[in-house]
Structures are given as C-alpha cells and as structure tokens.
Structure 1
Amino acid sequence: MGGTRREVPNDPGRRERILDAVLDVVAASGVHGTTHRRIAARAGVPLGSLTYYFAGMDDLLAQAFARLADTMSAHYRATLEGAATRAEAEAAVVQLICGPEYGTSREMTLIFEMYAYANHRPEAMEILRTWLLRSRESLKLHFPTHVCAALDVLIEGWPIHRVLERAPLDRDLVAATVRAIVGALDPA
C-alpha cells in the first residue's frame, strides 16, 4: 500500500471554506474588523491553517474578493447566456439590475468593502478591473462594445443607488432606460 498521510488532504475544501469565512467576516464586520481569529473561528479551522494556505491578511482578502468576483461574474454570464434575442438580452440586463439574485444585500456590502479596500491595494484594484472586463465580455454576447460599457455602468451603479435609497428599483424605469440606451447607441 503506497502513499503517505501528506498525499491525502486532511480536510478537503478547507481553503475554500476559509475564503467563504473571510467573506462572511467582511460582510459582518467590514475589512477593518476582519481578523485572522475571526476568520478561523468562522471557518471552524485552527488559526495556523490561515498561514498554511495564505501569505497574510492581504492575501486572504484579495483571494476572497477574487472568489466573490468569480461567483458574481458566473451569475452575470449565465443570465446573459440565457437570452436568445435582443429583447431577451435587454430583459436579462434589467434582471441583473433589479432581480434579487444579483447584487444581494450581502453582495452589495461586500462590493462596498472591496471598492474601499481596492482603493489602497493595487492587487485588489486589478481584481475589480478584471471583473469589469469579464462583465463587458458577457454583455458582448448581445451588444456592441460601446453599448456594453453603458449597460455595465447601469448594472454596477443602479444597485448601489438601491442600497443608498433603501428602496426597490422602479423596474419599468430601469427597463425603459435599458431600451433607450440600446436603441440610441445601437439602433440596428
């Protein structure tokens, strides 16, 4: 029988559980209140596990925010891939802006934290930049580049306003705005 204990992970999924815990702690306490101890406790792992998998707090935060961006990008892409016509693509954009699945309260809290953190960390700013480019690539499934830029700003910004206003968005207004932008910038 071959193999050593080192070849078999002691706790498969631990790294991912730690990253999920980072996001949970950031959502609850903000980046400023995120500590190694809180992360380890939330993940249910020994404190030393964090330094085994990650170089430090900046690495933990960067990888956790990258995980958030990946998850949200996948949802964004799937929503747009489900559209077969231009009208369905416009409806998908409205769903991204207004629907409950994208930009949840927790996600918006994490996004605000990520923006502030990235403002002082070039590696985190690169995560945001990559996320933006992925979003626009998803929009390019249905729209030309210049329309993608305008729609992405709506998808990014309108949920922020929803949080600040503490009120649901007017879906009819959002739909009319999406149609107006698409119609004005790409009348074909």
Structure 2
Amino acid sequence: MRRDSAAADKRRRRTSAVHVTADESTPGADESLKVESEPSTISESVAKENQALRDEIKGLRHSIEFHTHRADKAEASLLTLQADVSDIYRRKEEALQLEITVLQAELTASTEANETQMREFQAQKAVIEQSYRDRIEAMDAKFINQTFSSKAVTTMPTDPMHYDPATGANYCPLPPRKYKGSSAMIKELLTRYF
C-alpha cells in the first residue's frame, strides 16, 4: 500500500509539474515575441535619432557656411572702405601740403617784394633828402655869395650912421622902398639877392 501511494504521489507531482511547465511556457513565448520585436523598434528609434542628428549637423554646416560667407564679405567690405578712407586721407593730405607750399611761396614772394619796396623807398628817401640838402646848401651859398659880392657891397647904403636919442643907438637908414608894406619889402629883397 505504501508503494502504491508513493507511486501515486510521484504521478501527481509529474502532472502538476507538466501543468506548471505548460502554464509557464505560454508567457515565455510572448516574451520571446517581445524580444524579437524590441530590437527593430530600437534600431528604428536609433536610426531616427541618427537622421535627426545628421539633419541638425547639416543645418549647422549650412549656417556656418552662411555666416562664414557673410563674415568674409563684411571683411572684404571693411578692407575696401579702409582703402577708400586711406586714399581719401592721402589725397586730402597731398592737397593740403600743396596748398601750404603755395601759401609759403606766396608769403616768401610777398616778403621779398615788401623788402624790395622798402629798400627802394629808403633809396628814394635818401636821394630826396640829399637833393633837399643840396638845394639848401646851394641857396645858402648863393645868398652868401650875393650878399658878400662886390656888387652887393657897392649897392649897400652908403649913408652915414645916425644916432637916435630916443633909443640911444646908431642906425643906418634903409634904402627907399618902391612898394609899400612888408610883403613888398620881402619881394624886393628876394628879387635883389636871389
């Protein structure tokens, strides 16, 4: 009896083990399907991410090329403007230097002309002054010669000196005048001695 019961227990255990195995085998099949489907989903997501990264990198490259082109263009424009400004500055500096040179030449010429005119004026002044002195000296010499010449001495009044009791001095009377007034006397003297 004990052997029969032991054999029956073994059979029950085997049956329960088969049922358990059968029950456990069903979810294992679903998991295998899931494992088979998951790699395709992961690869697709990875591929999508890679494509998105490629697109982003491509966009960044285009943006870098665009900005690089703009930077090159701006640098070229800046160099052109710098060259234009340098050329304008050089031309203005040359024009200003030329104007300064012309003004300096005009100033030098004007100074030399003024100095020449001053020298000519001084020479003319010296000539005029010398001519005036010569004329004065000639007039003085003529007056002295005419005054102390023999003709002048003979024409001088020969009347004797007269004494004036009122003044207490001797005097010689003047020759008779042809004209009345001081102007007539001056004219007569000038006519006689000059």
TM over 0.5: no
The TM-score bracket by the shorter chain reads under 0.3
- Higher RCO structure (Cα 8 Å, ≥6 apart): 1
Q: 1 or 2, which has the higher helix percentage?
A: 2
Instruction: Tell me the TM-score normalised to structure 2 length.
Output: 0.16
Instruction: Tell me the TM-score normalised to structure 1 length.
Output: 0.17
